[in-house]
Amino acid sequence: MKTPLGFKASALSCGIKRSGKPDLALIFSETPAHAAGVFTNNKLFAAPIRVSKAHLKKSGTACAIIVNSGNANSFTGRGGFKDAEKEALYLSKALGIEAKDVLVASTGIIGKRLALDKIKNAIPRLIKALSKAGMYKAARAIMTTDTFAKMASNRLSISGKEVIITGITKGAGMIAPDMATMLCFIITDANIAQRALKAALKEAVDRSFNCITIDGCMSTNDTVLILANGRAANPLIDIGSKSYYAFSSALSALCLSLAKMMVKDGEGATKFIEIRVKGALNNAQAKKAALAIANSSLFKTAIYGENPNWGRIVSAIGSSGVKVKEEDLKVKSSSLKKKDIYVEADLNIGKGETVVYTSDLTPEYIKINAEYN
């Protein structure tokens, strides 16, 4: 898979995970890059988010992202915040850059202090292992309950210059909009204004990661970060231009592809479900109804059991608070025997429409989460 110019990545095991599997990743831009991020709306957000938000606010640029899995560094108090700051500082000194140009992310168990010494000791090896082909290794290192590494790439042409966007993500459980329990890191060699990058990322997240749900639970660590280093040497992309819409569309398509991978890898999932609600009063009402269906445990268990009990859809829509009349509502679906399932609910009262994605709820989901520690 071809990746953007001027980026390298690496991954290794530093000992955070007891299994010995890779648990530390680094993404590095050879030149300073415009940066933007979208984070969880959970009020109890983790220490790495606090640090990354502060660094983004200072300059809107970054050169590196360091990520660990196995420990969320969340609900760890002031000590956890200091750990995240030190992590950025250790890496910045080793790379010869400023600490504000390092973004930090973590995922894993909540409530335990980070094994900072293990990360500090691994940083020299992590930097030495940087390579242009390292993104897939990074995708594997950020996994927790995921069963496969999630990576995608998209290309577009801007004024004759090839622009590449590549992303990796993790997430299989505790998935709900605003955002799903997930980490996502995107790199691009596009020459794009920081304000345009920020706007395009927000649009892409709204169209993708905020349209998926597995269990309706929101994490403390959800993070999407993007770096754009301009190495494609295309004319500057800014808001309102044709090139902005082309870039924004390509970024949204990439994020949706990664989001769908997350749903297909949902903990214990056996079905991938696309839910379309149309005919709502407006798009917001349509999304509200669609998420009510997608987050209904009764609906999701019915899909697992291949039981066409549409009363569960009707009940979910009715309890969502959207405007709907019994005589207007129409529900249909594809065969429940298949792995990929399509469900449509037409409220027949307006032009509002949306699509969300979810998975079924299975006994395996309970087993995975009962044993997760």
pLDDT tens digits along 315-327 = 999 999 999 999 9
The dihedral sign for the CA sequence 97, 99, 103, 108: positive
When pLDDT is cut at 50, 70 and 90, the band that residue 266 belongs to is confident
For residue 48, with 0-12 CB atoms within 10 Å meaning exposed, 13-18 middle and 19 or more buried, which class applies? buried
Return the top range by mean pLDDT from 10-24, 29-43, 218-232. 10-24
pLDDT at 94: 98
Task: Please give the backbone phi and psi of residue 236, each rounded to the nearest 5 degrees, phi first.
Answer: -55, 130
- Lowest mean pLDDT of 20-34, 38-52, 231-245, name the range: 38-52
Strands 272-280, 340-346: pairing is parallel
pLDDT at 4: 98
Active site annotation includes 144:
no
Under 8 Å between Cβ of 259 and 209: yes
Question: Which residue blocks in 142-273 are alpha helix, DSSP H?
Answer: 194-207, 242-264
Q: Please report, rounded to a whole number, the percentage of residues in the chain having pLDDT higher than 70.
A: 94
Token reading at 357: 């994605």
Question: In the predicted model, is pLDDT for residue 176 greater than 60?
Answer: no
pTM: 0.90
Other CB atoms within 10 A of residue 350 CB: 15
When pLDDT is cut at 50, 70 and 90, the band that residue 179 belongs to is low
Which of the two residues, 1 and 29, has the higher pLDDT score? 29
How far apart CA 234 and CA 226 sit, in angstroms, is 18
Average pLDDT value for residue range 38-43: 84
Question: In the predicted model, is pLDDT for residue 372 greater than 60?
Answer: no
- Lowest mean pLDDT of 47-51, 217-221, 360-364, name the range: 217-221
Question: In the predicted model, is pLDDT for residue 42 greater than 80?
Answer: no
pLDDT at 113: 95
Start-end of CATH 3.10.20.340 domains in the chain = 272-370
- Enumerate helices (H) and strands (E) in the chain, giving the number of each: 10, 12
pLDDT at 171: 76
SS3 category, 250: helix
Question: In the predicted model, is pLDDT for residue 41 greater than 90?
Answer: no
What's the CATH code, domain 7-264? 3.60.70.12
When pLDDT is cut at 50, 70 and 90, the band that residue 366 belongs to is confident
Residues 6+ apart with CB under 8 A from 241: none
How far apart CA 229 and CA 88 sit, in angstroms, is 20
How far apart CA 284 and CA 100 sit, in angstroms, is 37
Active-site option among 76, 107, 144, 181: 181
Start-end of CATH 3.60.70.12 domains in the chain = 7-264
Angle at 277 between CA 276 and CA 283, to 5 degrees: 115
pLDDT at 183: 92
pLDDT digits (tens, 9 = 90+) for 275-310: 999 999 999 999 999 999 998 989 999 999 998 888
Token reading at 119: 């990360």
β-sheet with 352-359: strand ranges across: 330-333, 340-346, 272-280, 352-359
DSSP annotation of 361? -
Under 8 Å between Cβ of 6 and 188: no
Question: In the predicted model, is pLDDT for residue 264 greater than 90?
Answer: no
When pLDDT is cut at 50, 70 and 90, the band that residue 269 belongs to is confident
When pLDDT is cut at 50, 70 and 90, the band that residue 135 belongs to is very high
Average pLDDT value for residue range 153-175: 89
Average pLDDT value for residue range 3-11: 98
Beta bridge partners of 152: 167
Question: In the predicted model, is pLDDT for residue 341 greater than 70?
Answer: yes
When pLDDT is cut at 50, 70 and 90, the band that residue 43 belongs to is confident
Which of the two residues, 311 and 281, has the higher pLDDT score? 281
Side chain identity, residue 71: N
Pick the CATH number of 272-370 from 3.30.390.50, 3.40.50.620, 3.10.20.340, 3.30.470.20: 3.10.20.340
- Rounded to the nearest integer, the mean pLDDT of the chain is 92
Q: Please report, rounded to a whole number, the percentage of residues in the chain having pLDDT higher than 90.
A: 79
- Lowest mean pLDDT of 10-19, 97-106, 304-313, name the range: 304-313
Task: Please give the backbone phi and psi of residue 164, each rounded to the nearest 5 degrees, phi first.
Answer: -120, 135
How far apart CA 276 and CA 293 sit, in angstroms, is 10
Positions of E strands within 87-160: 102-109, 150-158
